[in-house]
Amino acid sequence: MKYVYILTDINYPENYYTGITSYLKRRLSEHNSINHKHSQQFQPWEIKCYFAFKNHKQAADFKQYLKTSSGRFFCKKHF
């Protein structure tokens, strides 16, 4: 199972991070660790939402969609 997830900064909810993983809880812990270079400036993170997919291609395609302008609009409207 692959998960596409959206994290938000607890202190500044307008900051978010979109990613993909097979292990959601472990990945959240990694993002909240001091050594995670891509997301350390906006710690601590919490999971805003996640989506489960059976295969990696579907998950990767959805993640790419969420990073487009229409995908960001979709997230703001529904989440």
pTM here is 0.86
- Say if residue 4 is exposed, middle or buried (CB neighbours under 10 Å; 0-12, 13-18, 19+): buried
From the list 73, 62, 70, the residue with the least C-alpha distance to 20 is: 62
From the list 59, 13, 7, 11, the residue with the least C-alpha distance to 38 is: 7
Q: How confident is the model at residue 24 (pLDDT cuts 50, 70, 90)?
A: very high
Query: What is the per-residue pLDDT across 57-78, written as a single tens digit (0 to 9) for each?
Result: 999 999 999 999 999 888 888 8
- What integer pLDDT is reported at residue 14 of this predicted model? 85
Q: How confident is the model at residue 79 (pLDDT cuts 50, 70, 90)?
A: confident
- Say if residue 1 is exposed, middle or buried (CB neighbours under 10 Å; 0-12, 13-18, 19+): exposed
3.30.70, 3.40.1440, 1.10.10, 3.30.365: which CATH number matches 2-78? 3.40.1440
